[in-house]
């Protein structure tokens, strides 16, 4: 990765208006029209100098999706932004289970970190290399992975399967390996969530975690993976929205200069790009407006303020930031430092992109993945033996704010099992030929999921359970069970680990 010369950065700063300098530090959503092109408002904010965007909103908008749509869209974003001062926009995305986590379809579905953490770190490097190559080929240059939180809170409701594990050395080894693989493709990796979110028992999307963490645990557990990925050259780090009162830090970590500058820059020696977690999350948004969140993050030492707003929200925000700059509320030194880092991050050699990933979502295959399954079947009832005319009824809760099953769960079960599959309620149990009760509560099975297991166990049909959340969950004593981390808190199912689990749960044969 190369760094732009200070002379070029200086010229860019000198040529930019105040509004463009402020805009360069924003990370916002992009928007697309029905034909798959950037909307007029998206073009306007790019020309206004916005420095970073989440790539095309293929999960939020109906219409075209997949790698070819994303690559065309991203190329247009880069072309529009480069016309102003010659500085391309940074285009980022989440990659929790691969490219399709962002593009809806296409690329290679890979295991979640919790599954990778059960294997050798070489698997994490290989997966990171696959993810990096596919994102680079699709026009992204910034990936918001890996999660290197050490998940020490059993009741953690959100990090869940996205963490490599509960041991700092394991997390560090896998985090370094994933970063190495990801950045080998030329994309920027992002270690998150600094200074560690793994002991939180509140989801910062929904509220503010207040963590009781000793100084020893802080130093020896939660900071260790960050030390290691910094030494390995990670390009960017994302902050966490949480409070650490036991460490005498009375400000949200994202807004804390002690955390973002004194600790991260000073003590740990990080000189890369520091991006906030979404400033729309309830942990922040319920306490302050977006302009103040931008200012507080900037003064703490952050470079990119992840407002994650739509393009039509940008102008009012920039109006407010300009007003507050002129009122003396924004420090020019902080603005210049962050501006320089953002511009420098765009100046690197990515090489020629590889071939466009497949438009159909493929599955990462490795002989080690079936070995990660944990089986609890003392009576030897697995796999459930069915024929092709059978219908498996799946008892599964919806992810929050939806009434749908976890994404790709049913289709993967059907494709792997080779028989009919449908989601059922407990009142429909006797209408199907076999039952699969699925649990993916990130803090262990939820009351609803436990109820599903009880109903399945009491039915006259063959039944089994799949515990698809983090490894700390206890198996059911009532049903034969397969355990493997494969569904996250947002209801995204990884086919890479779900497919081997289904093979262990069900065997379908033709009628004799």
Catalytic residues: 205, 277
Pairing mode, strands 481-483 and 374-376: antiparallel
Query: Quick check: 481 and 493 in contact, CB under 8 A?
Result: no
Q: Is 63 left (phi over 0), alpha (psi -120 to 50) or beta?
A: left
Integer-rounded Cα Rg, in Å, for the chain is 23
Q: What is the spatial distance between Cα 12 and Cα 147, in angstroms, rounded to a whole number?
A: 33
Structure tokens belonging to residue 497:
């680990």
**Tokens encoding 200:** 């939180």
CA distance 476 to 478: 5
Least Cα distance to 254 among 214, 213, 304, 211 occurs for 304
Tokens 């379809």: give the residue. 105
From the number of C-beta atoms within 10 Å of its C-beta (0-12, 13-18, 19+), residue 261 rates as middle
Crossing angle for the helix pair 67-82 and 40-47, to the nearest 10 degrees: 40
| Backbone angle region of 350, left / alpha / beta, with phi > 0 → left and psi within -120 to 50 → alpha | alpha
- Kindly state the tokens that stand for 60: 């939020």
DSSP E strand boundaries for 195-304 = 236-239, 273-275
CA of 474: how far to CAs of 376, 389, 477, in Å? 10, 33, 9
Q: How far apart are CA 466 and CA 461, in angstroms?
A: 16
């Amino acid at each position: 990765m190369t760094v732009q010369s200070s002379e070029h950065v200086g010229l860019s700063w000198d040529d930019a208006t105040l509004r463009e300098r402020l805009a360069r530090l924003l990370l916002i959503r992009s928007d697309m029209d029905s034909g798959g092109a950037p909307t007029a408002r998206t073009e306007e904010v790019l020309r206004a100098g916005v420095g970073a965007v989440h790539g095309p909103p293929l999960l939020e908008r109906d219409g075209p999706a997949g790698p070819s749509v994303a690559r065309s869209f991203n190329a247009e974003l880069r072309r529009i932004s480069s016309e102003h001062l010659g500085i391309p926009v940074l285009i980022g995305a989440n990659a929790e289970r691969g490219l399709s986590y962002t593009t809806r379809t296409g690329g290679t579905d890979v295991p979640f970190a919790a599954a990778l953490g059960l294997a050798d770190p070489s698997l994490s490097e290989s997966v990171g290399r696959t993810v990096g190559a596919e994102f680079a080929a699709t026009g992204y240059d910034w990936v918001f992975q890996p999660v290197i939180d050490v998940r020490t809170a059993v009741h953690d409701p959100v990090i869940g399967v996205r963490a490599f594990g509960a041991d700092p050395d394991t997390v560090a080894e896998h985090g370094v390996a994933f970063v190495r693989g990801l950045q080998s493709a030329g994309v920027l990796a992002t270690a998150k969530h600094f200074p560690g979110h793994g002991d939180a028992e509140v989801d910062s999307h929904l509220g503010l975690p207040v963590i009781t963490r000793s100084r020893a645990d802080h130093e020896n557990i939660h900071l260790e993976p960050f030390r290691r990925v910094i030494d390995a050259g990670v390009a960017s780090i994302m902050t966490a929205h949480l409070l650490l009162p036991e460490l005498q830090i009375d400000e949200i970590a994202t807004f804390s200069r002690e955390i973002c500058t004194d600790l991260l820059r000073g003590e740990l020696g990080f000189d890369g790009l520091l991006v906030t977690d979404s400033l729309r999350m309830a942990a922040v948004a319920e306490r302050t407006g977006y302009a103040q969140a931008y200012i507080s993050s900037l003064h703490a030492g952050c470079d990119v303020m992840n407002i994650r707003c739509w393009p039509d929200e940008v102008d009012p925000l920039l109006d407010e930031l300009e007003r507050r700059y002129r009122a003396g509320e924004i420090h020019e030194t902080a603005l210049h430092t962050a501006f320089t880092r953002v511009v420098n991050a765009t100046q690197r050699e990515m090489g020629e992109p590889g071939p466009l990933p497949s438009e159909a979502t493929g599955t990462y295959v490795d002989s080690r993945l079936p070995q990660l399954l944990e089986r609890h079947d003392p009576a030897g009832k697995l796999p459930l033996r069915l024929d092709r005319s059978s219908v498996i009824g799946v008892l599964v809760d919806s992810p929050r704010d939806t009434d749908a099953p976890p994404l790709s769960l049913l289709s993967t079960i059907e494709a792997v099992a080779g028989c009919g599959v449908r989601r059922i309620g407990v009142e429909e149990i006797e209408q199907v030929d076999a039952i699969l009760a699925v649990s993916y509560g990130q803090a262990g099975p939820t009351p609803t999921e436990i109820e599903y297991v009880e109903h399945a166990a009491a039915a006259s049909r063959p039944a089994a359970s799949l515990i698809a959340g983090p490894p700390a969950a206890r198996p059911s004593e009532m049903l034969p069970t397969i355990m493997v981390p494969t569904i996250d808190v947002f209801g995204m199912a990884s086919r890479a680990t779900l497919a081997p689990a289904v093979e262990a749960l069900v065997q379908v044969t033709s009628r004799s």
